[in-house]
Structure 1
């Protein structure tokens, strides 16, 4: 079985960890996890490595995706570790917080944009060559999103605004690069959790939709999927 590699930007105990564990169990043998919290990343790396019956190499990088130079340096380090051969990028980076229309801290607004949109642009720019560097059936770049990009929620209006910008960027990426790389949005349309009867979406269900999307055959690549 050939080696497959995953770069997960914005690892965390919900969607990120579930995606990494599922893809490890499905045969991905080299997984890079990026987030700011090194202690949590190290715990998640152990969980991912133990989720597969076969050996999985998991390496973590603690980095702020909005700090451009350190982030690009990290992406280059990931590229060296995977021998510049990448099968899948999952971009799961976001900031979620309430925001009053006229009292919002403008610096926080900018930080939201940097986290979801500028960091996505940098990620795609520096990983596209890795996705194109070897012949694979499913060179893929998936972005966690929400329908608030189209139907905004005023209580999280800054997130709604930057998710709209992020969606526009992804659609542009699809138009230019979509014939060679499977670029798609995964719309998560409820809060993530496991409490029955609370209208929550289990992270494992979301991870399953990422896998289903990854399995699309070329010529049948979907540009988005909704998780309800």
Structure 2
């Protein structure tokens, strides 16, 4: 089994929300990570979530409001995270949201935001903290999705779900993760993606309330991927 990141380093949860990201934060807190930074656009939501982590796990947790579609702001907030939590970053967990648009409904702004949050900000974030990651035997962990896969089925689903921008952004993100994996491994840093193949309970795609895939099972897969580090891409379920 490969060595895991230093549990005394900071884990950054970028794109925090009540589903997968919240489950990942709880999972890594339960594994002994003592400093957690939560990133999303809404400070009040982050403050509540951080307080719950502190109360439950007796760790240091803090929220930092930032738009992941703004790459310079992301680089700036990572410096703020290091200063406020008095440490270096060992894990970057990347789970950006976004507003899915159909291929004929997208605008320059919405399409640009999808690419920025899923690819540009991810790569520039890694640039900013690469020395931290290397010093902590760190990892970059990214949430992927079924729509990113190169198949007729996924392309048809993108049309059926009116989610062309999401599919394109996730596909570009998948390639970025693949390149990051090979660019970082010589530094002792792991980069990998968990590709979610089914609809997750509680998400906007689960309008019929029929999904059976839990965010907790996805968090378990991320923990397994980080500890084993034996594949760039793994899937759930």
Question: TM-score with structure 2 length normalisation?
Answer: 0.84
Q: 1:127 aligns with which of 118, 126, 129?
A: 129
What are the within-5 Å matches in structure 2 for residues 47-126 of structure 1?
47-52=52-57, 55-99=58-102, 101-126=103-128
CA distance in 2, matches of 1:98, 1:70: 24
Q: 1:32 aligns with which of 17, 28, 37?
A: 37
CA distance in 2, matches of 1:2, 1:9: 18
Which piece of structure 1 moves more, 9-18 or 81-90? 81-90
- Give the unaligned 5+ runs of structure 2: 1-5
Deviation at 1:221, TM superposition (A): 2.6
Distance 1:82 1:40, change over 3 A: closer
- Give the unaligned 5+ runs of structure 1: none
User: Match of 2:29, SS?
Assistant: helix
Deviation at 1:5, TM superposition (A): 2.3
Aligned residues: 219
CA distance in 2, matches of 1:102, 1:66: 21
Query: Deviation string for 1:129-174 (max 9, x for gaps)?
Result: 111124x4xx211010113112332221111111111111111111
What are the within-5 Å matches in structure 2 for residues 134-173 of structure 1?
134=136, 136=137, 139-150=138-149, 151-152=154-155, 153-154=158-159, 155-173=162-180
Residue 15 of structure 2 corresponds to: 10
CA distance in 2, matches of 1:7, 1:158: 25
The answer to whether the 8 Å contact 2:41/2:67 transfers is: yes
Greater helix fraction, Structure 1 or Structure 2: 2
CA distance in 2, matches of 1:64, 1:58: 19
CA distance in 2, matches of 1:91, 1:2: 18
The answer to whether the 8 Å contact 2:70/2:117 transfers is: no
Tell me which of the two structures has the higher relative contact order, counting C-alpha pairs closer than 8 angstroms and 6 or more residues apart: 2
The answer to whether the 8 Å contact 1:75/1:123 transfers is: yes
Q: 2:226 aligns with which of 214, 217, 221?
A: 214
